[in-house]
Structure 1
């Protein structure tokens, strides 16, 4: 049942569904697929997260089997209408649906990263390299780690005790660095080489805008596509996962075939607007068809009215 609490991790070590799906994607067994939330609300997240449950869409195509269509849901606090409170609620709703919650934070602020991590995010998406230090607890491997150890909720999203979470979070929480500017593209090889960066993610609209183009035209702009190809190559050469934003199944499939591991398949705001538009056009068509069916047929060349003109012969007979 969709309302049952499910595990967002796949084993006792705390490996998340996100990481498992990315490992599969790297093996060529199908993309790591998720959804994008721009709207706030626990109920919305709780509804979207388990959609497609028990439909093994990739198995049908000879790819990997999955318990859900989505392996992750991204909460967009950068561009979406989602505040700190809603972020906490949505992370909980998503993780208890058996899906990995990812938080895209609005700025490279240490406290923003800490809040997202402490509420249980399985991954953080941000632009700066400094995100790695902010996401790591200080340890022998990460002596420069800046993350505070006071998380009260995060371990629940990993089905762990607080102590186990502290011991494993540096390995389980993923760091996704956004490449959304010309400067980032110019330095992408260096960024990809940073220890602790798990994924490079391309936001094509912001990237195109930063290069002086109309954001929504990115797919037809050679300069932008060349930059995207450079990012993909840098990520693959460094052994990192690479993701690309996609608002449709066609784009998501195309990006996976190009070599990207991580793709969304739409977004809540796009899905709602598209569904409403399609259904309204369908309603107009159905109403128009019904009206045509009920319209009286023409009789004797008139527009549906009976011809009441008297036949001269008949009139004479009755006079």
Structure 2
């Protein structure tokens, strides 16, 4: 199963950052477009995206079938959501709005089979999203090691204990907009205060000290390249929603003989 998890393979190869994209619009055709774009992984966003449980079950296999890792951002910390995401065959989960070490411990327990955790076993769906497909027994034996557990560092409380959180998970993933809001330095018109930059750097250092990976959400290829140079391991380059709107606006402006006034999406 580890060989089928492209994102985990990229982490183990350690040859540079793994670039991915964010799916917010439902539909397996959207999933396939994003997976064919050259990404190592696609984040199926069930928190802020228009992706419900049924749409998640369509997106994950469409992404995995193209050799790309489907990662699911669950909407909340509830354990049944973790189970649904992994049972549909996700190669990993991203959990938002973490605040305490105990919450992270509970997330990891919900994501792993006994004796390491308390995940229930029984989905016949998950195996189809790995190639070659494991048997029931192989999935049970290999899932704990093969699947990625990630939490978002985007609250003041999580930042204050980030050094304790880092050893518990595979990836610390920075959500810069909520993190900025929560520490009193929101991103306004794309401007990031030094205090937010320091918080992001602290998260990266915590991951490094624990021997773990660190990811971050970006809004453009240029920003993603900058964070790649800083040493981040997992970088979201763009979302389907914002890119679709920007590309359409630019094409229409060109067709009308006008210069497209690019406005920051965030």
Residue 75 of structure 1 is matched in structure 2 by 44
Deviations 1:156-192 (A, max 9, x none): 1122122111110000010011100111100000001
1:46-195 alignment runs, 5 A limit:
46-51=32-37, 69-126=38-95, 127=98, 128-129=103-104, 130-139=106-115, 142=116, 145-158=117-130, 159-194=133-168
CA shift, 1:219, in A, is: 4.5
Counterpart CA distance in 2 for 1:104 and 1:137 is: 20
Of the candidates 234, 250, 262, which is equivalent to residue 234 of structure 2?
262
Residue 262 of structure 2 is matched in structure 1 by none
Residue 308 of structure 1 is matched in structure 2 by none
Cα–Cα, structure 1 residues 269 and 216, in superposed 2: closer, same or farther, change >3 Å? Answer: farther
Cα–Cα, structure 1 residues 23 and 14, in superposed 2: closer, same or farther, change >3 Å? Answer: closer
Deviations 1:184-239 (A, max 9, x none): 10000000122xx1000001011111123334456521111111110010001110
Counterpart CA distance in 2 for 1:275 and 1:155 is: 36
Question: Rg: which structure is higher?
Answer: 1
Of the candidates 160, 177, 182, which is equivalent to residue 205 of structure 1?
177
Secondary structure, counterpart of 1:193 in structure 2: helix
Counterpart CA distance in 1 for 2:190 and 2:206 is: 20
Residue 39 of structure 1 is matched in structure 2 by 25
Structure showing greater relative contact order (alpha-carbon pairs closer than 8 Å, 6 or more residues apart): 2
Q: Could you tell me whether the CA contact under 8 Å between 2:187 and 2:193 is conserved in 1? A: no
Count of residues in Structure 1 that have an aligned counterpart in Structure 2 = 250
In structure 1, list runs of 5 or more residues that go unmatched. Answer: 1-8, 52-68, 287-319
Residue 261 of structure 2 is matched in structure 1 by none
Counterpart CA distance in 1 for 2:4 and 2:64 is: 13
User: Which has the larger displacement, 156-165 or 179-188?
Assistant: 156-165
Secondary structure, counterpart of 2:113 in structure 1: coil
Cα–Cα, structure 1 residues 209 and 218, in superposed 2: closer, same or farther, change >3 Å? Answer: farther
In structure 2, list runs of 5 or more residues that go unmatched. Answer: 259-266
Residue 214 of structure 2 is matched in structure 1 by 242
Residue 16 of structure 2 is matched in structure 1 by 30
Cα–Cα, structure 1 residues 116 and 216, in superposed 2: closer, same or farther, change >3 Å? Answer: farther
